[in-house]
Structure 1
Amino acid sequence: MEKETESEAETHIDIKPPPPPIFADVKPLKNHPTQEHPPILLSFFSSGSSRRRRRRGDTWVVSVFVILHAVAFAATMFVNDCWHNSNEDCAVSALGRFSFQHFSENPLLGPSDSTLDEVGALRRKFLTENHQTWRLFAFPCLHAGLIHLIINLGSVVFIGIHLEMEFGPFRVGIIYVLSAFAGTLVAALFVQNRPVVGSSGPLYGLIGAAISELIWNWRMYTDKFAALGSLFVVFTINLVLGFLPYVNNFASIGGFIAGILLGSVLLFSHQISQVPQNKGALFEYSVKSSIKSKLRQKIHWSALRSVTLILFCLLFAGCLVAFLRGIDMNKYCNWCQYVDCVPTEGWRCDDRVTSCEAMVSNAELTLTCMSNGNFRVFPFTNVSDARMNDLCNVIC
């Protein structure tokens, strides 16, 4: 009986599982070094990344600017009216009133000097003698010709759509407008007495902002060098275009600097990752240390953005004050004219006054340049004084 009782007692013994580890209920920290997750890398120009993206219908700011520029160019060519003002001696004459001046006069397939003056191009005398400050607002809206229009607006669409889909229309619109005015002020300090337009200023503002955003968020992208290469190609093409007549490179330089500074302020997307709450007492110190590190990092980036904003304000205010005081930077920098122009047989970069002697005989007009003796015979006589000055500039 005793043996049976002992065996029966042994069969009723409950074997409990071993106790769980002390820290079994503690979830590992998300940002703990041993549990660190690899960052999500994105493609810079991809529209399908996992970051916040707008619908294509929301990218309306760039579309509005493109339409305004196209309308402004159409209005410029309407005013130019080569078919009538140049006695049908035009390039692509099939366009009639909207046909272009010959390549010898405008190599970018655009209007004449006098037309650009009429619609709002910059000249030094317009600002210093006539005080036509309204030209500062028309200047960034004008294009020198059809070639300039296509390359410029194509670049704006390529870069602007990406920035607007990524950061929204409000910030991109601010960068575009402020870069345009900053570029205009810089151009006004270097402009000479030949007509120039500055629609490349806001474009270079977008290029500068895109480069700034790429550098600030360098670790987020997989194709950063390819993106830099694409931006460099756009930068170079438009810069080379600026050496041709009528396109102002100083507006591009001013817009580019403004874009870099504004991009650092408005497009910097560094975000402080949230540290998950944890009840593990032994991890409390790590959580607090991580929070302090994130806060210090946030204060650091905020300080840098504040400094960048101050630099932009100083640049803008300094250029504005210099313009209001009528400062001509060409007096202090003789070589600066070559930043905006490359002298060729077709045009010169130095500031000069041209004059021609006109002779009418047998329904023909003969213009002779007084400075170099060049002359040309035209099969018409009924031209305006402004148009005669255009022809004189071509001959001289």
Structure 2
Amino acid sequence: MRLDPKLNEYIQRERALERSSACCVRNDNSGCIQSTECLDKFAKFVKWPGNDAPDFKNGTTITVRTSGSVCGQDPRYCRSQHEVGTADQWPDDITKWPICSDPLPKEDFKNSTYENVRCNVVGHPCCIGQEARCEIVTKEYCKYKHGVYHSEATLCSQVNCMQDTCGLIPFRVADKPDQIYRLWLPVMLHAGILHCLVSVVFQMTVLRDMEKLAGWLRIGIIYIFSGITGNFASAIFLPYRAEVGPAGSHFGILACLFVEVLQSWQLLKSPLRALFKLVAITTVLFVFGALPWIDNFAHIFGFISGLLLSFVLLPYITFNRFDRHRKRIQVVTCSALFIGLLTALFFFYYIHPITDCSVCRYINCIPFNEDFCSNHGFRPEDRT
């Protein structure tokens, strides 16, 4: 839904490393691969401008290229680069090269005198993992790492690993994630049959009763917006972990029960007993939320959202004039607080992203040992 600051920093750093890469041709003629380093004893590093570099038109001056070479791709072997003006030529920066759509025939490559063109390219870009990491590897290794292999490309800068990671509808602008629908889509997704079964049981018991009490429209609004708020908070505090499931929505409905007890306090036979049961159940669920594979941020913010929306949307009974006036003020106040909550989440996600929150991880998972909370996704600072 956004270009993550830390992740983008590491992508740009890796692109800068690729800018200094060149074609590493193996001495035994087993192939070549794009790399930033090459062992002299086993391969030759075909680095421009020292090894047959093509010309580069810099205004009225013609110089040789300094960025490259690239295994299997060369301006001299792409028809679109023949006799073009300065504006249409590939820049002297291989990270800005497109994929050549009209290369010369394969026979011309085989008969070439340029080593980076003549060699058999054994590695292509592979997008690996949810962190959009790109590596130049063989097809077999990419399959082993469950990555997305791009045999048509020669450089990592020519592929969009962020799109491969996110999937679904392509970005309107490359490298700029804009999938805002991910705020509500996880509410309808599940991580397996057991996860789905738990949701169905909750919906056929608690949610069904609340729907009979308040109507499908009111409960539907609370359910969806509680899930959106929970997912928004999860995206802020757990940005590198994939999340699915209506956890925030379920806790929003759980908050409805609290509001129903408070609004009908005078009508209940034992309101304190009912409230104590709800507090006990909610406390246990929040404690379970500190275990791995459970998103406590979605629980907390879904509950807060459901609490505010319940005061606004659930029907209530007034017992006197003062009570009616108090509940109207309550509706206005809770509406303002919910809008303020969404505004704050929007601010800390898009305008001033939270990138370092050491305390937050303890809210979602208490690390009893080193590997207890290892499922929280990769850490950008550990990316190499």
TM-score, normalised with respect to structure 2: 0.48
Bigger proportion of residues as strand: 2
- Greater RCO (Cα-Cα under 8 Å, separation 6 or more): 1
Bigger proportion of residues as helix: 1
Name the larger-Rg structure.
1
